[in-house]
Amino acid sequence: MPSVFQIAAFGEELGWRGFLFRHFAPLGFWRRSAIVGLVWGVWHAPVVLQGQNYRQHPVAGVFGMTAFCMLAAPLLDLARLRGRSVWASSILHGSINATAGFAVILVRGGDDLTIGMTGLAGMVALALVSGALCLADRVRGRALTASDGMPAGA
């Protein structure tokens, strides 16, 4: 059963991995992910400026959140693509939202720009995952991120 985090993320995911996923599909996986990630990150600017995710650095946090969203977009797009449903990316998105604050609360040292999922540490991890996806695509001939075989309208 989905948690409140996944249900809340579903609203966002209808836009990012629903409407924009289909709208930018002709651009291919990587370009679509970059554009959707950019829009997704900028969309967060008003709440980030109010202190969400980057309470210590709200202005720099807008750039941090945009970078985070651009780095997370390929993973969420892959979940959407392979799960053939916005619910798949919603579950992943909600899980990220549910756990993102733990490092900022529990880790000593650093700040909101360096630790946690939306800090430098999380961004490095996401960059490594995206790099691995890109490498796997090259080795396997786009087998991981290809949308071949998806039913029309999925």
> Using one digit for the tens of pLDDT, what is the confidence trace for 116-144?
889 999 999 999 999 999 898 888 877 77
Rounded to two decimals, the pTM is: 0.87
Position 147 confidence tier, pLDDT thresholds 50, 70, 90:
low
> Using one digit for the tens of pLDDT, what is the confidence trace for 41-72?
999 999 999 998 899 999 999 999 999 999 99
Average confidence score pLDDT of the chain: 87
CA distance 135 to 118: 24
Position 103 confidence tier, pLDDT thresholds 50, 70, 90:
confident
